[in-house]
A and B are shown apart, each in its own frame.
Chain A
Amino acid sequence: MSRDAVLASIRRGLRRGPLPDDIAAALRGRLAAHPRHLIPARSMLAHAEQVTLFIANVEKEFGTVTRVPDMDAVPDAVADYLASQNLPGELVMAPHPELRSIEWSVRPLLRVREGRATPNDAVSLQHAFAGIAETGTLMLPSSPERPTTLNVLAETEVVLLRASRIVGAYEDAWDLLRAEIGAMPRNVMLVTGPSRSADIEQTLELGAHGPRRLHVVVVGQ
């Protein structure tokens, strides 16, 4: 069986048999403790500064950001953004409780559908689990409330992120995920800006296969 052949070949190279129990136990301990390595100092800031750094990094990576004080201001922020981009007021929204609780009827021209994205959806609205200030990265784990297709199919992705969910480093976001979700979700996307390609003459062009526009609505302080 190839499994045995590969493992035997590895052990032959390492000049040993299967690991002794004590070493295997130590390695299992390392897996369970998943120790952190050096974390760059750039994101070790007070929370308000982490929010500022997050926004600056999203914009550096060609994303856009609107800040609003509370959830009541979200429909206006979304509708105004779409209007500013000359986009139709129609979107597919993640069936996340926080998004569902928003009073969308205050903007009657905005048509909101819940569910996964289809090829006909031009705009999606996703709910972010966390924001990572270090590089302006959104953490988007899959779940029934956060379909993955919302992150990849629409030309324009709008993401709602509570400012309180912005952390410094990637490791902080993973710790949040371990604490609140537990087991690894089927899919976790770390998204930094809209899609792009530099395959033509090594020159960066935005709008490859994923969203051409990424807009983050940051809610609260």
Chain B
Amino acid sequence: MHLATSPAFKQNARRALADPGLQKALARSGTSFIARRAAAAAALPEFEQLRDIARDIKDHTLAHLDFYLEEYEARMKAAGGTVHWCATADEARSAVLEICRTAGARTVTKGKSMISEELSLNEHLEQHGIQPVETDLGEYILQLRHEVPSHILAPAFHLNREDWEAQFRASHTELPADRIFHERRDILTEARARLRQRFLAADVGITGANFLIAETGSSVIVTNEGNGDLTQTLPRVHIVLGSIEKIVPTIEDCTSLLRVLARSATGQDFSVYTTFSTGARRPGDLDGPDGYHVVLVDNGRSAMLGTEFQDMLRCIRCAACMNHCPVYGAVGGHAYGWVYPGPMGSVLTPALIGVDQAGLLPNASTFCGKCESVCPVKIPLPGLMRHWREREFERHLTPPVQRRNLALWGWFARRPAMYRVVTRAAAASLGWFGRQRGRFARLPMAGGWTAGRDLPAPEGDTFFARYARAQRRGRVG
């Protein structure tokens, strides 16, 4: 597995804040996803109701997950496919390698799959003499750059156009070095031509799965590029990497989730290609793979059932939470140090690799609540991050200074009269000192906080005082 750099989140974040290329990319992309999602949601009057439905479908499925997985397996086998149940990442890597070896595979094309990142599958295949080729445009350049995705939807979110041009010049040496990329489209066209031969030469195609359908035994992928379809149609063998929580009962359930997925993700009404695969080539078919395998991965998910983190298993990987997150927007995805960045990663990563490794992530949140407000399956992300903070505290993983400060705050909070005196004094003095500029660029003992931003000055009053005054005047609001 990729060595997680999540324990170094603070150093990662500091480096990210000082990286001009990354900051340029974040500034450019920051608002476009937000505007597109808002427009798509506004154009569908039923959108909010559909979010409730999506949440309920996922909750129903998770409550009967064992049943639906067995039903799915039975239908899929009947359609001529093979299921490989894998409890751990190790088992999943071995299963994929074994299928590739049996197929005599030398090269493998791949559609975008975060499970594959979770398994570090590319390294594993390379170590065993099999060449993986990423075909999603963003994944393709990251493979050339030996980087990992910084976003679950747009893997190359952190790159700028000049990075693309430089990398293509460095990697595609058979083309004239002085060629000019007039527009972004020229970059895309070059990648298309390069990958075309790879698609045709591959022995095995590996895709992820956005959904697995129990009713029909189908796997579903959602893409815009068409690379996933070329990956699963042209080679002799198609391998689907799907984790256990991707299961949904019926096509109708899947359809309802699809209605909120693309709108939440890219702001499209529907993605370009939504493809349902059910087994291998049938008699008379002129194309399609001869073999169809589903590697069904648990890797820590079943252990989340029945805990306060079960709701996280509703996630359909739309990335709306990270697109709307001020922390992600400031430091980008790599700072989070493992496969899943942003708010969903801050909840999922501690569950999958341990809170001792990833305990800083749920702390890297302002709890502004934007992520929860846009989540298509209504995962209470800030609440779940708070649960991780509690666990971290209980297990004494919180740093001593923080524990001492929390204890100090707790001592005051349990003595309301004294709490009010102290906060009133603090608000009044900060308000007085900050009355000129309205904010502080620097504060004693808060240098770490104010290095990246200003602290707004209080207006001289506490909330308690204002509330009491308003109540006396007979209006609260």
Contacts and interface: CB of A to CB of B under 8 A. Distances in A.
The finding on whether chains A and B are genuine partners in a shared complex, rather than unrelated, reads: yes
A19 to B, nearest CB: 5
Given A144-B286, A209-B192, A197 B252 contact: no
B250 A34 contact: yes
A103 B450 CA distance: 76
Q: Chain B: interface residue count, which band?
A: 35 or more
Interface in A186-200: 186-200
Contact of A148 (B138, B155, B227, B288): B288
Contacts of B216: 184
Interface in B227-260: 227, 229-230, 233-234, 244, 249-253, 255-256, 258-259
B45 A205 contact: no
A99 to B, nearest CB: 14
A37 B156 contact: no
Interface string B269-290: 1111111111111101111100
A207 interface: yes
Contact of A201 (B53, B184, B284): B184
The residue in A115, A196, A198 that gathers the most chain B C-beta atoms within 10 A of its C-beta is A198
B272 A10 contact: no
B188 A197 contact: yes
Contact of A14 (B53, B63, B184): B63
A207 B275 contact: no
Contacts of B349: none
Interface string A125-141: 00000000011010000
Contacts of B304: 13
A147 B285 contact: yes
28 contacts: A6-B86, A9-B298, A9-B302, A9-B305, A10-B66, A13-B303, A15-B306, A27-B64, A31-B250, A35-B250, A35-B252, A37-B256, A144-B286, A153-B230, A171-B255, A174-B251, A186-B288, A188-B218, A192-B273, A195-B226, A195-B273, A201-B29, A201-B159, A203-B184, A205-B185, A205-B188, A206-B185, A210-B273
Interface of A: 1-3, 5-7, 9-15, 18-19, 23-24, 27-28, 30-31, 34-38, 40-42, 57, 61, 95, 115-116, 119, 134-135, 137, 142-144, 147-149, 151-153, 170-171, 174, 183-203, 205-211
